[in-house]
Amino acid sequence: MSKLMIRGGHKIEGELRVGGAKNSVLPILAATVLNGKVNIVHDIPKLSDVEVMIKILKAVGCGVKREGNTMIVDSSKLNNHKIPEELVREMRSSIVFLGAMLARCGETIMSYPGGCEIGPRPIDLHLKSLREMGAVIEEKHGFLICKSKGLKACEIQLDFPSVGATENIMLAAVFAQGTTTIRNAAREPEITDLQNFINAMGGKVSGAGSATIQIEGVKELHDVEHTIIPDRIVAGTYLIAAAMTKGEIILKNVIPEHIQSTIYKLKESGCRILYTQDSIKLVAPEKLHAIESTKTLPYPGFPTDMQSQIMALMTMSEGISIITENIFENRYKHAYELVRMGANIKIDGRVAIIKGVPKLTGATVAANDLRGGAALILAGLAAEGATIIENAKHIERGYDHIEEVLKIVGAEIYKL
């Protein structure tokens, strides 16, 4: 079980480059099975979740080669439609293989997906949508046995703008005869990145970034080369690191439009932020102000993946901040760990009330999920004394060697 140790009190100052987005990489790697040809994908971060995707691709017969941050996937020799149970249970995002494998093979077998324990994340929208397209899906002993004699284009109305369901439908519909329409589709930037990847290999997808996406079926796809968009959650995390330590940071390779909701909250807390087309500069205030109300919502609302980090920021603000978690009902485990460090947080169902304190104190805490772990790192950077974070393996799912990156900008952080 990996641990991190942080000695707080150092300002985060300097310049960092933000790498490719985890939430883009995973569905795009699943999409590489579609073309049966060579896929070259650039700016892939080194994450444990990416390693799981590589193992799945190899398990179904793909050739995978990594050269630095570039990955070459040759899916021409795909020869297995069963995805290993132990890999699926490691990571929830593996569910996107459902649509991709159905489109490519006409059948697949996989178990229910795992991942961080942040509350129920049912896949009923995924299954309902694929059934509407003509897939026959049986659920037996924790496995999904999926078959199709050719998926059919149709109109799908999502009850909720689920990112995973939107991605699965997009992948499944690539070869479906006719035009598939997704209404109330997820609008996240990562959906647009997946659209661009599919189109670069010869697919016909339009509308990503809006609530209506259309996929016109094609007969075949070709080789593709693509660069992943920057990770907006990693960018937001590093901005908060500078804000909490009264520092100053410049982030390169970012798309400010993708993190407007986070920028808005940081400005509300008193930070000064300047940005160009692909960079952001944050100058922290001497005293952080409370953020009156933060509500997590589907994009372009405030992302649930930034909720724990903004909570860490608010523990040291002047005044009372209120956070409402509308996406996942069990995403406040980090709050109890922050309290160990001296934070004043009360949880009432989906609402967290944070009363700012003058200082946090280092303690031994545990990361229970990916973003909660990031929040504990942020608190450790600003706290007095040493903080030890147990279960740091969760953090490796979404941050590429975060301890090495933070050292570049002045943090005293070590892997134990």
Paired with 107 in beta bridges are 147
Percent of the chain with pLDDT over 70: 98
- Count structural domains, the chain: 2
- Asked which of 193, 227, 261 is the last residue of a domain, the reply is 227
CATH number, domain with residue 258: 3.65.10.10
- Asked which of 178, 197, 227 is the last residue of a domain, the reply is 227
Q: Would you state the pLDDT for residue 113? A: 77
pLDDT average, residue stretch 164-169: 96
Q: Would you state the pLDDT for residue 390? A: 97
Work out the angle at residue 53's Cα, subtended by the Cα atoms of residues 121 and 41, and round it to the nearest 5 degrees.
Answer: 115
Binding annotation for phosphoenolpyruvate: 22-23
Average pLDDT, the chain: 95
pLDDT average, residue stretch 69-75: 98
> At residue 290, does pLDDT exceed 80?
yes
Binding annotation for UDP-N-acetyl-alpha-D-glucosamine: 92, 121-125, 305, 327
Q: Would you state the pLDDT for residue 1? A: 54
Q: Would you state the pLDDT for residue 114? A: 62
In this predicted model, what pLDDT tens digit does every residue of 345-354 receive, in sequence order? 999 999 999 9
Tell me: do 167 and 261 sit in the same domain.
Answer: no
Tell me: do 142 and 272 sit in the same domain.
Answer: no
> At residue 115, does pLDDT exceed 70?
no
- Asked which of 188, 211, 227 is the last residue of a domain, the reply is 227
Res. 142 pLDDT band, cuts 50 70 90: confident
Tell me: do 271 and 363 sit in the same domain.
Answer: yes
Res. 143 pLDDT band, cuts 50 70 90: confident
Tell me: do 156 and 212 sit in the same domain.
Answer: yes
In this predicted model, what pLDDT tens digit does every residue of 345-396 receive, in sequence order? 999 999 999 999 999 999 999 999 999 999 999 999 999 999 999 999 999 9
Range of the domain at 374: 4-19+230-415
Binding annotation: 22-23, 92, 121-125, 305, 327
Q: Would you state the pLDDT for residue 265? A: 98
Residues forming the active site? 116
Tell me: do 93 and 149 sit in the same domain.
Answer: yes
Kindly report the three-state secondary structure assignment for every residue of the chain. Answer: CCCEEEECCCCCEEEEECCECHHHHHHHHHHCCCCCCEEEEECCCCCHHHHHHHHHHHHCCCEEEEECCEEEEECCCCCCCECCHHHHCCCHHHHHHHHHHHHHHCEEEEECCCCCCCCCCCCHHHHHHHHHCCCEEEEECCEEEEECCCCECCEEECCCCCHHHHHHHHHHHHHCECEEEEECCCCCHHHHHHHHHHHHCCCEEECECECEEEEECCCCCCCEEEECCECHHHHHHHHHHHHHCCCEEEEECCCHHHHHHHHHHHHHCCCEEEECCCEEEEECCCCCECCCEEEECCCCCECHHHHHHHHHHHCCCECEEEEECCCCCCCCHHHHHHHHCCCEEEEECCEEEEECCCCCECCEEECCCHHHHHHHHHHHHHCECEEEEECHHHHHHCCCCHHHHHHHCCCEEEEC
Tell me: do 166 and 277 sit in the same domain.
Answer: no
Res. 120 pLDDT band, cuts 50 70 90: very low
Tell me: do 213 and 346 sit in the same domain.
Answer: no
Tell me: do 86 and 162 sit in the same domain.
Answer: yes
Tell me: do 270 and 349 sit in the same domain.
Answer: yes
Tell me: do 282 and 402 sit in the same domain.
Answer: yes
Q: In this structure, what token pair is assigned to residue 116?
A: 């961080």
Least confident segment among 29-38, 140-149, 289-298: 140-149
| β-pair type (4-7, 412-415) | antiparallel
Tell me: do 378 and 400 sit in the same domain.
Answer: yes
pLDDT average, residue stretch 187-206: 98
Tell me: do 121 and 201 sit in the same domain.
Answer: yes
pLDDT average, residue stretch 61-72: 97
> At residue 178, does pLDDT exceed 90?
yes
Q: Would you state the pLDDT for residue 327? A: 92
